Amino acid sequence: MSTPKQVQVKIGHNGYTTEITAGKHSLVADEPKEVGGNDLGPNPYALLLSSLGSCTALTINMYANRKEWKLDEVLVGLSHSKEYAKDCDDCEQSNAKIDFIEREITLVGDLDDTQKARLMDIANKCPVHKTLHGKIEVATTLAGA
């Protein structure tokens, strides 16, 4: 690649096993064996959910720490599916599907109902959540061209 990027991804001749470098951190993405992968790491959608889940937990935790609330632990469970769009203004096909992410948050600690409600509001303010709900453009270029 011609310029340094925040994340570098490399795939070779080892099925779908993909090496990811994010700064000084390395991880692996893959696909399950039943679809031709080696199952050596999470698939790309699991990584996307991991981004949203970790951002959610971090954002809630930061807010609770600033407020000095007694939050001991944040658990975020996520799942992804494709569902048929119920109300789709821009759908050209009646069978159009949309991505659906279900996020369940557990707050552990000595918190009252008002604090819990505020932390649930804060969950939607995490940067990854905002990115997923905003307009996203991906500019793709061929390196060396």
Contact 63/119 with Cβ under 8 angstroms?
A: yes
Partners of 27 in beta bridges: 20
Q: How confident is the model at residue 1 (pLDDT cuts 50, 70, 90)?
A: very low
Residue 111 covered by a domain: yes
72 and 126 part of one domain: yes
- The number of distinct structural domains making up the chain is 2
Contact 101/49 with Cβ under 8 angstroms?
A: yes
Domain range spanning residue 18? Answer: 1-41
69 and 132 part of one domain: yes
Residue 144 covered by a domain: no
pLDDT tens-digit series, residues 49-98: 999 999 999 999 999 999 999 999 999 999 999 887 665 555 555 567 88
61 and 18 part of one domain: no
* Angstrom distance (rounded) from CA 93 to CA 81: 19
5 and 69 part of one domain: no
49 and 20 part of one domain: no
Residue 125 covered by a domain: yes
